[in-house]
Chain A
Amino acid sequence: MSFSSRPILSMVLSRLGLGLLSLVIVSLVIFSAVALLPGSYASAILGQNATAEAVAAMEEQLGLNDPWFLRFLRWLGAAATGDMGMSFAGRPVMDVIGPRLVNTVVLAAITAAIAVPLSIALGIVCARYRGRFIDKFLSTTTLASISIPEFFVAYIVMMLLAVKLQLFPSMAGIRASMDWGDQLYRMVLPILTLLLVILAHMVRNTRAAILSVMASPYIEMARLKGEPESRVVMRQALPNAIGPIASVVALNLAYLISGVVVIEVVFVYPGIGQAMIDSVRNRDVPVIQACALIFAAAYIGFNLIADVISIVSNPRLLHPR
């Protein structure tokens, strides 16, 4: 194994390098966004108190007179250690978004824990009963569901379960003082909406991954040997489709990110997406930068994981001739 793992190692390392490079490029874009801000950064922080001396002193204090790449490196270094600077409102950015980040991660993690097994199971069912009613039904609904805006799904869920049936609260304003059960109870509607948004995508991709394996000659062989269809799917196709499926899952978790923003706004869930929209409205640039950096890092991370999984699970790379 030691000699054969080398091509994989180099491919994985090069993917990691590319991911890191795109993270640096993205952070450079995010950093230089400040330069596009009308007026200077220092006077934006000072707001009403922006006298000429105060601005000069602030610029000196923040090191704004240094060359831009020095400032970029300093900003990036600080960001890597979790220090995102001060918001325009005067609080450290991490104090503003830290607790909200935890809320968002919890929301996304619960959603993923339900969505991943469910969508794989449904995808297998679709592939097994290809062309039958269940498959056509799921294919058509998935096609429809990728076309439906997230806020529409969210409001329909809210309308049915919160307003008409009054089963759950329509606002998911959780606080740290609430106990776990209460918090979870309020998170039901956002989680349900996210599931509806993401599930169709994942089922469709899982089905496609299995079906592309089903076209291989060894599947034909297994069928000719007289194996029952469900055994062909479960024993022959599924193990070979695990790589593509895993990368599909990772890609869809990245896709979840933009859905999270909209759904947090609809349900007034105190997460990082809501924080980003609030700071966009207030033009609080340091908070926007921090949120954008976190979202971009998560997105790049998930894409990277998807790539690495599909490299590692490729049997041709595992056993090179």
Chain B
Amino acid sequence: MKATIDLLKKHRTMELIDGEDFTVKLENSKTALVEISEKALGPVKEAILPLQTQEASNIKDRLRKFEIKVGEYRMKF
């Protein structure tokens, strides 16, 4: 995108986007994306990890119980 903006600037006086220069806008978006990524994959991920682990364990339990049930059903034949 930066290369495209540089090319556009060579050929046209660029208008502003939401009152900001295109390159500045792109840089700000990049910073915001990095910040939200760090938050999401850092403290947020950490906060939900125990719940995720618990849920994974619950699903494994349900799966195991289902397998036992299928096994019992087969024994009847």
Asked if A and B bind, the verdict is no
